[in-house]
Amino acid sequence: MADILWIGTRKGLFALRPDPRRRSFRVSAPQFFGHVIHHAVQDPREPRTMLVAAKTGHLGPTVFRSIDRGRTWKEAAQPPAFRKATEGEKARAVERVFWLTAGHSSDPGGWYAGTAPAGLFRSRDAGDRWEPVAGFNDHPMNSRWAAGLATPDGELLHSILVDPRDAGHLYLAISVGGVFESRDGGRDWAPLNAGIEADFLPDSNAAFGHDPHCVELHPAMPDRLYQQNHCGIYRLDRPATTWTRIGKAMPKSVGDIGFPVVLHPKNPDVAWVVPMDGTTVWPRTSVGGKPAVYQTRDAGRSWRRQARGLPAKNAWFTVLRQAMCIDTRDGRGLYFGTTGGEVWASANGGETWRRIAEHLPEIYSVTLAI
C-alpha cells in the first residue's frame, strides 16, 4: 500500500500520493471541502483506520472516521463534548477538536482527543463515541490550569502522549496552561513545568500557566521528552522533573521560538525544530524571511541549520505545531506544511529540501500514513 501524506488545512483535507520513486507527489481533490481540519491521524495499531478532527467556520466540531485508509468516512456517533454543566457551574462547550492521539498498543480502539476550550476526551471504540476524561476536565484544579488564557484559536489542549511502556502514564499540554502528567490512566493529574520559563507571567516560577507549543515523547526512550515552548526549546529526562532549556544553544540571531518539534524514531538524541520570529509583537514567521529547519544530533547541546533548497529570502511563512512529521520507518523522510499552503519534503533527514505541493489553503496538519 502506497504512503499517503495527509494535509489538514483551513479549507479541507488533501492527500499527497508519491510516485513509486517518490520524485513527485500528486495532490488529491479536497475531502471535507470547506472544513477546518486540525488533525488527521492514522492508527498505528490498525493502519486502515484514520481519524480527522473537523469543523467549519460556522458549524460545531466533530470527528470523522475511516476504516479504509481514507477512502470513505463516517462521522462519530458521539463527538467530544463536555458533560452538561450543573446549576451555577461554568458551562463549557467544545468549540473545536484540535488534537488526536491513538491510545496504547494494549488498548485497541482507544483514542484521546484534545479540544478548545481545553478538554480531554477518550474513545474506546476507535473514535465513534467520545467521553470526557473527568479526571482532567473536572479536576479540582482544572479551572486554574485551564484558566482561559486562550490563543487566538482558543485555549488548545494538545500533545497528548501515551507512554509506550505503560498505558496509564499520560502527558498533555495546554496553550496556555502548561504540561500535565497522569500516572493512573487520567484519573489524577499534576503540573510538570519546572524549569520552563514564562516571561509573560507575573511569577516566572509558577507551577502552571506556561505555553507549551508542542511536546513529544521519544518512542524508543520514553523517559525523554522534548518541548517547543513559547519561551524556548526544552528537554526533560525522567525521572527528573525540571526541564532544561536546550534552545540556548541555538544561534542568538535566530532564537529558539517555534511551534513543532519532531523526533528521530530511533535515535533519541536527534530532533528537528522550525524557528520563527518571536520578537516584539510575535510575527511568528520564518526569522528574517529566511526559513530554516534546525537539527540537533546531541539532544540539544548543539544545533545545525538545514536550509538547502528552502527559499533564501522573502519567505514569511509559519509552520504550525501539527504541520511537521517524519517517516518513522527510516528517520530520513521529513515533511512540513506552511501557512502559505506549501508542502516541503526532505529525503535525507533535512539536509536538502524541495517543495512538493503549493497553492493549498493554510496548512494546519501534516501526517504520514504508511
Euclidean distance between the first and final Cα of the chain, in Å?
Answer: 8
Name which of 33 and 282 has its Cβ closer to another protein. 33
What's the distance, CA 187 to chain centroid? Answer: 23
> Contact, 57 vs 35, CB < 8 A?
no
CA 171-177-180 angle, to 5 degrees, is 20
Name which of 122 and 169 has its Cβ closer to another protein. 122
Name which of 83 and 354 has its Cβ closer to another protein. 83
The nearest distance, CB 57 to another protein, in angstroms, is 5
| Cα separations in angstroms, 204 against 153, 201, 216, 298 | 24, 6, 23, 28
The beta strands (E) that lie in 106-169 are given as 111-116, 119-123, 130-132, 156-162
The nearest distance, CB 278 to another protein, in angstroms, is 26
Name which of 89 and 184 has its Cβ closer to another protein. 89
The nearest distance, CB 129 to another protein, in angstroms, is 12
The nearest distance, CB 100 to another protein, in angstroms, is 18
Q: Which residue has the cell 516541503?
A: 344
The nearest distance, CB 196 to another protein, in angstroms, is 32
The nearest distance, CB 55 to another protein, in angstroms, is 8
| Torsion angle (degrees, nearest 10) of CA 256, 233, 273, 101 | -140
Name which of 10 and 355 has its Cβ closer to another protein. 10
> Contact, 325 vs 337, CB < 8 A?
no
Name which of 31 and 159 has its Cβ closer to another protein. 31
- Catalog residues that contact another protein under the rule CB under 8 A: 34, 56-60, 62, 75-77, 79, 81-85, 91-94
> Contact, 333 vs 345, CB < 8 A?
yes
The nearest distance, CB 34 to another protein, in angstroms, is 8
Contacting residues for 339 by C-beta, under 8 A, at least 6 apart: 317, 318, 319, 320, 362, 363
Name which of 10 and 183 has its Cβ closer to another protein. 10
CA 349-265-36 angle, to 5 degrees, is 85
